[in-house]
Structure 1
Amino acid sequence: IARDLSERVRANRELARLRDDLQVARQRELIGHLSIGLTHDFNNLLAAISGSASLIADSGIVGPNVQRIQLAVGQASGLLRRLSDFGMRPPLRERVDMRGPVRAAVDLLLADGSGAVELQLDLPARPVMVDAVQTDMMQVALNLLTNARDSILSEEYPTGRGRIRIALCIASDAELKPPLAFGSLDPARAYCLLEVEDDGPGLDADARSRVFAPRLFSPSAVDCGSGLAILPSIVGKNGGAIALTSDGSSGARFSVFWPLDSDRNAAPAAPHGSRRRARPLSGRLDGHMVLVTDDNPDVLRVISAILENAGAEVASCTMAEDALEAVNEDPRHWDLLVTDYAMPSMSGARLAREVHAHVPDLPVLLMTAHTDWRTHGEGHSGREFAAVLGKPISSADLLAAAEAAILDR
C-alpha cells in the first residue's frame, strides 16, 4: 500500500513556520511594550533632571534641585537594573516605608517648575511598611502622577490651574470593596491604599477599558494610559489590585491596593557586606590611604573627588595592573582598595584575589554597573569584597561602605 504524504509534510512544515512566526511576533510585542514603558519613564526622569538644572541656572537655588537630580538618577538606575534583570532573577525586595517613594515621586513631578498643577499630598504620620522593590513603588506613584498631570494639561481640558491629590493610608474594610479594574484582594490580608485623583477631563467607558493598554503605534498621544501600561505588571506581581473611578466628564481617581508587610516589627535586613559595629559611622576618612581603579577616567575622577572631600589620601589609576603593582610595592601602605568590575585586561574580582594573595586583610570595595557580575564565569563568591556598590554610586553610600570596610579590617 502506497500513500502520498507530501501534502501532510508540507502542511506540518507550514504549521511549524507559523508557530515560529507567532513566537517571534510575541517577542517583538513584548520588547515593544518594554521599550515604550522605559521610554516613557526615562523621559519623565530626564524632564525632572532638566527642570532641576534649569532652576539652578535661573534661580541659583542649589540644594533642593540637586537633591531632585540625584533622586531622578537613582530612579533611572533602578529602571536600568530592572531592564538588565529582565528574564533573569527577580530584583531584591526589602522592607520599605511607602511614604518615602510617594514623597520622592511628588518631588520629581514638581521639578518641571511650571506651576501649572497644584499638588495636594496627604501622608499618614506613622510608617506604612511594605515588602517590595522600592523602584516598583516609586514607579507606580510617579506614573500615576504623570498621567494625572498630562490629563490636566491635555487640549481637552480648559485653560487653568488643575489640581492633583495623592493620598496614602491603611485601607479600611469599606475601602477594600470597590469594583476593581485589575487584580483581586485577599480578605485575609491587610493593604495600604494609594490614591491619585485629578480634576482633569475624566475617562469615558471606552477610555476606562483601554487605560492600561500600551499605545504601540501612537506614543505621542496624550498620556491617558501609555504610562500606565506597566502598572498591572508591577501591582500584580506584588499581590495588589487597582480600582478606577471616573464619570467620564470630570476627574479620575486611581486607587492602588498594596499588601502590607506581614511582620511590621521585623528588623530591616542589613545591607550587603555590612557588619554590626560598636561606634556609628562618621562619614569621614581622614588620614586613610585609598587606592582607586576604574577604566573610565570620568568615573575615576568623581570617585576620587568624593573620597578626597571626606579627608582620604587617594591614588588613582585606570589600569588594574597598576593598582596591583602599587599594592605589591608597599603592602601595608593602603587602607582600602576601590575597584571597578569590568576592566579591559583584569576584572575587579581577579584584582581582589591577586591583592589578597599579598595582603589578605586589605578590604576591597567593588563598583559595578553589571547586576549579573557573579555569573561571568570566574568562579567567585563575592567574599573577596567588603561590599558591592551598584553604579551610579551616591557619595553617601560610597563613604559609608568605605568607612565600614576600614573599621571592620
Structure 2
Amino acid sequence: MTGCHLDITPLKEVIQALEAEKGNFQVLVDASPLGIALAGKDERFRYLNPKFVELFGYNLNHIPSQQDWLVKAYPDPKYREEIIAMWKEAKRRDDPGVFRTRTFTVTCKDGTEKAVQIRAAFLADGDHVVTYEDISEQIHLENKLRQAQKMEAIATLAGGIAHDFNNILSAVIGYAELIRFDLPAGSKASQNLTQVLTAGLRAKELVKQILTFSRQADQDQIPIEPHLVVKEALKLLRSTLPTTIEIHQDLTPSGTILADPTQIHQVIMNLCTNAYHAMREKGGTLEVRMKPVALDSSLKKADSDLTAGKYVRLTVEDTGCGMPSEVANRIFDPYFTTKSEGEGTGLGLAVVNGIIKNHHGTITVSSEPGRGSVFTVYFPQIEHGAGAERESHEAPLPTGTEHILFVDDEPTLANLGKRMLEILGYRVEVCTSATDALDLFRKKPERFDLIITDMTMPAMTGSELAMALLQVRPNIPIILCTGFSYGMSEEKAKAIGIREFIFKPFVQKDMATAIRKALI
C-alpha cells in the first residue's frame, strides 16, 4: 500500500488569514459612513450595508434587484429613463475597478428626496459595487452661500444707487420746496407741488428700505398710527394686483405703535404679495383687517410670545390654495420657499418675521390645503400718540443770520443749498471744490460761523475737509451731508469733531434744525 501525505498547514493558515481579512472587511463595510450596495451580474443585490438602509429606508426585502431599486428611487419615469441610459453608458465605457462619480436626486422610502453622490465600480467578473453619499446638507449650505453672495452684491449695488439717486432726489425735493415757498398757500399749484414732495419723500424712504434690507442703514422707530400705513400700502397694491383678486379692507383706527413706517409698509406688501401668489391662478379675495385688541392671560396661551396687554392686530387673509401643516410650520424659515425656481428666494416671510420680532410683536399662520391662509400679526400699543411729532412738523422753521460756507461738488445742489439757506436768513458762500473751500477758509478762519459740506467729492472727501478745517480752527461747527457712504457714519463723523450728520435728500426743516443744533 502506498500512501501520500501532504502538509496543508500553510493552506489552512492562508484560509484563516483570508477569513480574518473578510471579517475585518465586513466590519469596515458595515460601519462605513457611506451607503454601499453590491450587485451581481444578474442585477440582483447581494448586500446592502446598514448605512444604505438608514439613508433610504429600503432593505433587501424591499429591493431585491437593481430594477426594483430604480423604480422606487426614481419614481418619475422620464428621470428614471435618463438614469438608466447614463448607467448603461457608464457600464459600457468604465474600466474594471475604476470609480466614476455622479450626483442624482433619490426618493427615499418615506417620500423625501435626497441629493446623493453615487460612485460605481464595475468589476471584471460582472459584479458591481456602488457607494452612496448624502450631500443634501452640503448642497443646502452651498445654496445659502450663493444666496449670501448675491445679497452682498445687491448691498454693493444698493450703496452705489443710493448715493446717486439721493443726489437726484435732493434736487427734486429741494427745488420743489423752493417753488412752493413762492406760491400762495392753498393754491392749486402749491397743492400739486405738495404731491411732488410727497412722492419724493416716499422715494427717499424706498432707498432707505433697500439699504436696510442690504444691512447698510438702520431704521428709526417712531410713534405711528398703523392703519394709515396699511391704507397707503393697499392703495399701491390695488394698482399692481390683477382684477381677478378682490381686496376687502376693514381698518379700524387702532391707536399708536412704536414702529418704522417703512418696515410696516414692507410687512404689508410682503404678506399681500404672498397672498397674491396663492390666488393668481384662480383669483380670489384678499381681506385685510386691523383692530385694537386686549390680550388677557387666557388669550395669551394661544400667543405665548406675547405678554398680556393692549395690541394692534393685523389680519391678512386669502382664499388661495392654502398649505399643509408641514409647510406652514416652516414658512418663516430663511430660504424656505414653495415657489418654483426663479420665482422666490425664500426670504420674504423670513424678513417679515424678523421685522415683527424687532417691533416686539409676533406673527402666526393658519392654513389648510384648498381653504386659504390667514396671517395674524400683533404689535404692542403705546400710550401716547404721534400728536407731538405733528405739532413740531407744523412749527415755524428756525432761522438765523450767521455766515455759512456751503460745499458741494455738484453745482445744482450747491445753488440749491445757497437759496434754501438764504430763505432762512443766512448769508451764504458756495464752493464746488473741497480744496477751494479749504483755501478760502484758511485765508480768514473767523469769517464763517458754520461749514456745511457734502461727503463724496473728488480730490478730498467731506470728512477729510472737515479734519483739515478743524486743524485750522478747532471750534468751527461743521455739518456733513451724504447720499450714502460706505466709510462714514454719524458716530464716526462726531468722533472726528463734526457737529451734525444729515442724510440726503433733506427737506428745508431738517437742515434748519441741524444748523441751530450745530451752532449751539
User: 1:216-268 deviations in whole A, cap 9, x for unaligned?
Assistant: 864447x9x7743422233345554311234555654311234567xx68x9x
Tell me the TM-score normalized by structure 2. Answer: 0.52
For the pair 1:140 / 2:267, whether they are aligned, the reply is yes
Residue 194 of structure 2 is matched in structure 1 by 63
Matches within 5 A, 1:316-355: 316-355=430-469
- Give the Cα–Cα distance (whole angstroms) in 1 for the partners of residues 461 and 435 of structure 2: 10
Residue 275 of structure 1 is matched in structure 2 by none
- Shifted more, 360-369 versus 168-177: the winner is 168-177
- Give the Cα–Cα distance (whole angstroms) in 1 for the partners of residues 278 and 426 of structure 2: 50
Instruction: Check whether the contact 1:37–1:230 (CA below 8 A) recurs between aligned residues.
Output: no
2:409 aligned to which of 295, 298, 301: 295
Residue 273 of structure 1 is matched in structure 2 by none
Residue 30 of structure 1 is matched in structure 2 by 148
User: 1:262-298 deviations in whole A, cap 9, x for unaligned?
Assistant: xx68x9xx9xxxxxxxxx9732546443322233455
The Cα shift of 1:123 comes to: 4.4
Residue 404 of structure 1 is matched in structure 2 by 517
User: 1:321-370 deviations in whole A, cap 9, x for unaligned?
Assistant: 11222223343443321112233333323322332344444321111313
SS in structure 2 of the partner of residue 346 of structure 1 = coil
Residue 167 of structure 1 is matched in structure 2 by 290
Q: CA 1:35–1:345 in 2, change beyond 3 Å: closer, same or farther?
A: closer
For the pair 1:254 / 2:375, whether they are aligned, the reply is yes
- Give the Cα–Cα distance (whole angstroms) in 1 for the partners of residues 156 and 286 of structure 2: 27
Residue 351 of structure 2 is matched in structure 1 by 230
Instruction: Check whether the contact 1:120–1:164 (CA below 8 A) recurs between aligned residues.
Output: yes
Residue 53 of structure 1 is matched in structure 2 by none
The Cα shift of 1:171 comes to: 4.4
Residue 6 of structure 1 is matched in structure 2 by none
Instruction: Check whether the contact 1:202–1:246 (CA below 8 A) recurs between aligned residues.
Output: no
SS in structure 1 of the partner of residue 256 of structure 2 = coil
Give the aligned CA root-mean-square deviation in angstroms.
4.8
Q: CA 1:384–1:25 in 2, change beyond 3 Å: closer, same or farther?
A: same
Instruction: Check whether the contact 1:71–1:104 (CA below 8 A) recurs between aligned residues.
Output: no
1:122 aligned to which of 251, 265, 269: 251
Q: Which has the larger radius of gyration?
A: 2
- Give the Cα–Cα distance (whole angstroms) in 1 for the partners of residues 512 and 299 of structure 2: 44
For the pair 1:386 / 2:499, whether they are aligned, the reply is yes
- Give the Cα–Cα distance (whole angstroms) in 1 for the partners of residues 281 and 156 of structure 2: 25
For the pair 1:367 / 2:367, whether they are aligned, the reply is no
SS in structure 1 of the partner of residue 208 of structure 2 = helix
The Cα shift of 1:157 comes to: 0.7
Q: Which amino acid aligns with 1:370?
A: S
Instruction: Check whether the contact 2:290–2:313 (CA below 8 A) recurs between aligned residues.
Output: yes
User: 1:172-211 deviations in whole A, cap 9, x for unaligned?
Assistant: 2355444xxxxx7346464634413345435242764565
The Cα shift of 1:80 comes to: 0.7
Aligned residues: percent identity?
Answer: 21
Residue 97 of structure 1 is matched in structure 2 by 223
SS in structure 2 of the partner of residue 373 of structure 1 = coil
Q: Which amino acid aligns with 2:146?
A: R
- Give the Cα–Cα distance (whole angstroms) in 1 for the partners of residues 458 and 199 of structure 2: 34
Instruction: Check whether the contact 1:341–1:349 (CA below 8 A) recurs between aligned residues.
Output: yes
SS in structure 2 of the partner of residue 197 of structure 1 = strand
Residue 106 of structure 1 is matched in structure 2 by 231
Tell me the TM-score normalized by structure 1. Answer: 0.64
Q: Which amino acid aligns with 1:172?
A: L
Q: Which amino acid aligns with 2:352?
A: L
- Give the Cα–Cα distance (whole angstroms) in 2 for the partners of residues 362 and 150 of structure 1: 57
- Give the Cα–Cα distance (whole angstroms) in 1 for the partners of residues 412 and 143 of structure 2: 41
Matches within 5 A, 1:7-46: 25-32=143-150
- Give the Cα–Cα distance (whole angstroms) in 2 for the partners of residues 149 and 320 of structure 1: 51
Residue 211 of structure 2 is matched in structure 1 by 80
- Give the Cα–Cα distance (whole angstroms) in 1 for the partners of residues 193 and 276 of structure 2: 25
Matches within 5 A, 1:196-235: 196-201=315-320, 203-205=322-324, 208=328, 211-212=331-332, 213-214=336-337, 218-220=341-343, 227-235=348-356
Matches within 5 A, 1:259-278: 259=380
- Give the Cα–Cα distance (whole angstroms) in 1 for the partners of residues 452 and 276 of structure 2: 43
- Give the Cα–Cα distance (whole angstroms) in 1 for the partners of residues 224 and 272 of structure 2: 16
SS in structure 2 of the partner of residue 337 of structure 1 = strand
- Give the Cα–Cα distance (whole angstroms) in 2 for the partners of residues 37 and 210 of structure 1: 27
The Cα shift of 1:21 comes to: 8.5
Instruction: Check whether the contact 2:408–2:453 (CA below 8 A) recurs between aligned residues.
Output: yes
Q: Which amino acid aligns with 2:292?
A: C
Q: Where in structure 2 are there 5+ consecutive unaligned residues?
A: 1-32, 34-132, 170-190
Instruction: Check whether the contact 1:195–1:253 (CA below 8 A) recurs between aligned residues.
Output: no
